[in-house]
Amino acid sequence: MNDQEIRQEIQIIKSMIDKTKRATAESAALFVMWGVLISLALVGSFILGRLKLYHWEWLNWGGITVIGWIASVFYGIRHQRTTPVRTYIQNAGRHLYFACGAGFLLVGLIFPAIGVYSHEAISILISCVTGIMFFVMGGIFDWPFLKTVGLGWWAGAVGMSLIRPEQRTLVYTFLFIAGYLIPVIVLKAKFDRERREA
């Protein structure tokens, strides 16, 4: 076997791994859906705050969480059926979405509903779960930018715990735009580019 043949073999292996990676680029549809749902919850939270109906906060966040969770499960099942190739990274990502979905459900709906803590803590705890989601995703996709976003969410959670509950919606809205909408737009552009190249 000569040098040329060895290089050809290495080239085949590299090329196939690249093709597999590009074919499995996510559509970011789930991120966009969660973004829209959280935006609606933020608006709901703001309205409830203005009307002094704080005791309905759990229903606002909980309802959004349940809708998002159900939609994510359906999307996951459909995606699994139609995808031409499945990778271990995708499996890890799916488990992460599921775990965070369960986390949102617990901290946003179940715990406040049974009185474990006040509704005022929901946005702080949801920020913690969102931080975990972005940080781990950054590790899975080997993208430091997402890890930084995760750190931003945790810093935001600490910041919100230091201010008055009625100011939290405003901080959370800023955090959401800087730490979710912007990364999602960047992520979607990246995935769309990878899909076009595939």
Partner 1 sequence: MTSEKFAPLDPVIHSPVRLAVISILASASQAEFNFLKKATETTDGNLSTHLARLEEARYISIEKTFQGKRPLTACILTRKGRKAFEEYLKALESYFPHPQGGEENPR
Answer yes or no: are the C-beta atoms of 135 and 150 closer than 8 Å.
yes
The residue (of 20 and 161) whose beta carbon lies closer to partner 1 is 20
The least distance separating partner 1 from the CB of residue 1, rounded to whole angstroms, comes to: 6
Length of the chain: 198
The least distance separating partner 1 from the CB of residue 20, rounded to whole angstroms, comes to: 5
| Chain-centroid distance, C-alpha 144 | 15
The least distance separating partner 1 from the CB of residue 159, rounded to whole angstroms, comes to: 40
Chain residues in the site for partner 1 (CB under 8 A): 1, 6, 8-10, 12-13, 15-17, 19-21, 23-24, 81-82, 84-88, 91
Q: Is 43 helix (H, G, I), strand (E, B) or coil?
A: helix
Tokens of 8: 């050809």
The least distance separating partner 1 from the CB of residue 81, rounded to whole angstroms, comes to: 6
The residue (of 24 and 173) whose beta carbon lies closer to partner 1 is 24
The residue (of 2 and 162) whose beta carbon lies closer to partner 1 is 2
The least distance separating partner 1 from the CB of residue 87, rounded to whole angstroms, comes to: 5
**Residue 118 and residue 39: Cα distance in Å, rounded?**
21
| Chain-centroid distance, C-alpha 111 | 21
The residue (of 70 and 85) whose beta carbon lies closer to partner 1 is 85
**Residue 191 and residue 160: Cα distance in Å, rounded?**
32
The residue (of 51 and 82) whose beta carbon lies closer to partner 1 is 82
C-alpha pair distances (Å), 118 with each of 5, 67, 103, 125, 157? 67, 22, 17, 11, 15
